[in-house]
Amino acid sequence: MRRATRCSSAAGADNRSGTPPAASSAFSATGRSAASPPEVVAQVLWLTPFPPAPATSAGAGRMFELIRRLAAHHRVDVLSFAADDELGSDATRTLERAGARHVRLVPRQPDRRSDWLGLRPAAVAEYRDPTMAHALAATLASRAYDLLQVEYGPMAEYAPRRGAGPHGVWTVHELGCARLRDELARRRGPVRALLAYRYLQMLRYELSLTARFDLIVAIAEAEARELRERGAAAPVAVSPMGVDTRAFPPAPPEVEEPGLILLVGFFGHAPNVDAARWFVGDVLPRVRVARPAAHVALVGREPPPAVRALAEPRLVEVTGFVPDLRPWLARAQVVVVPVREGGGVRGKVLEAWAAARPVVATARGVAGLEAYDGENVLVADDVATFAGHVARLLGDAELRRRLGAAGRATAEARYDWDAIAAAHAELYDRLLAPRAA
């Protein structure tokens, strides 16, 4: 059966076709071509929960790729939280080389005082820090910024009220209320009452934040639709996840490692932990019945004890952070995305597609993407079918080649960062058009 979940264009809430605007093809990391319409040059401050950087996580990579391209014709500054190991000059230099003019990293020191009124969900407490509030106020006062680009839900609370500062744009990478709603649907027993409370609390909190902004940008169409239906207090556009297709050239088949299955994810994110445990515990044993040589590499930073415990010699390798994913993609015969919960769009699918690797995923794993079951991906939500797809691919080189080629074509046509960044720049232009006039 041909099944697809379409993702919409970044051009704005009124463009639902998923086709990037024609002008976007003229945009690249070095700027728009001379033939492009004149753009509004803006001073933009990006506010992020961790430093934008390539090869760390899908979210960090998305922020980095957009900054790298937008900085070609806007002044882009970055204010970000950073972990202790990110406070050195490397993170700053990486962003400056990408074109950021000024970078300030703030060590995260959460304010852990109790919220007696229960106004803030516990999930955002780790990013509640008076130091960041002061840093943002000082930065906004230091320069006449035209735009404040806020990334992720926990950072949205720092934004000034609409009209009290620069135009505000909030990128919603994943709706916390949607994740809690999905968990509520799966759980049984007394815990449902607590989950229902947390869901309603998060829903109210996230909707209240939309009133601070002039524009909300969702990465997935489903989440954009939910925000609109729930009454978001600002227009909602869609800007999909992307991939640098030039950075992931397909590798020749002779470098494949027989039986190697690749699962990539940031394991500080609970849905990726669940995916790894489900695949290793339930799916992999069935795959090995048909393909005894099958083994899996769990690649991604911050694996918790629950993931590290899955490691088993010659069967399951847990790598932690790797500086370059491309050698792993080249070796893998199959890439799996067994995500069963959470929202957003999976950058790991796009990287696998760009590298022409065949992908087996759950429906949730390819939600929001131009994914067609049997054409550029194999989709399954139950253990037996998922295992059957993986085993079939491990034994069929022609099917691997066909799916991989179709995935590569999809990445090139729909998800190249140049087109996505151009459409994002048009969102800026539209917000600033009254000023330019």
Domain assignment of residue 370, yes or no: yes
Tokens of residue 312, six digits = 């088993």
Give the containing element (helix H, strand E) for 148: strand 147-151
In this predicted model, what pLDDT tens digit does every residue of 395-431 receive, in sequence order?
Answer: 999 999 999 999 999 999 999 999 999 999 999 999 9
Q: What is the model's pLDDT at position 215? A: 98
In total, how many domains does the chain have? Answer: 2
| pLDDT tens readout for residues 290-303 | 999 999 999 998 99
Give the model's pLDDT for residue 14.
33
- The answer to whether 223 and 232 have CB atoms below 8 angstroms apart is no
With 0.75 as the threshold, say if the pTM is over it.
yes
CATH number, residue 189: 3.40.50.2000
Q: What is the pLDDT of residues 369-396, one digit of tens each?
A: 999 999 999 999 999 999 999 999 999 9
342 with 423, same domain? no
Q: 179 is in which domain, residue-wise? A: 22-242+416-436
- What value does the mean pLDDT take over residues 94-105? 96
315, 379, 59, 40: CA torsion to nearest 10: 150
Q: What is the pLDDT of residue 269?
A: 86
Asked if 270 and 311 sit in the same domain, the reply is yes
Query: How far is it, in rounded angstroms, from Cα 32 to Cα 413?
Result: 19
How far is the C-alpha of 361 from the C-alpha of 349, rounded, in Å?
Answer: 9
Residue 6 included in any domain: no
Residue 101 lies in a domain: yes
Does residue 358 belong to any structural domain of this protein?
yes
Phi, psi of 48 (to 5 degrees): -130, 150
| pLDDT above 70 for 4 | no
pLDDT at 119 over 70: no
Q: Is the pLDDT of residue 17 over 60?
A: no
> What pLDDT, on the 0 to 100 scale, is given for residue 118?
60
Residues 47 and 82 in one domain: yes
Q: Is the pLDDT of residue 113 over 70?
A: no
Q: Are residues 198 and 222 in the same domain?
A: yes
- pLDDT computed for residue 408 by the predictor: 98
The tens digit of pLDDT for each residue in 327-364 reads 999 999 999 999 998 765 678 999 999 999 999 999 99
**Residues 24, 354: Cα–Cα separation, whole Å:** 19
Q: What percent of the chain stands above pLDDT 70?
A: 87
213 shares a domain with 113:
yes
Same domain, 393 and 423: no
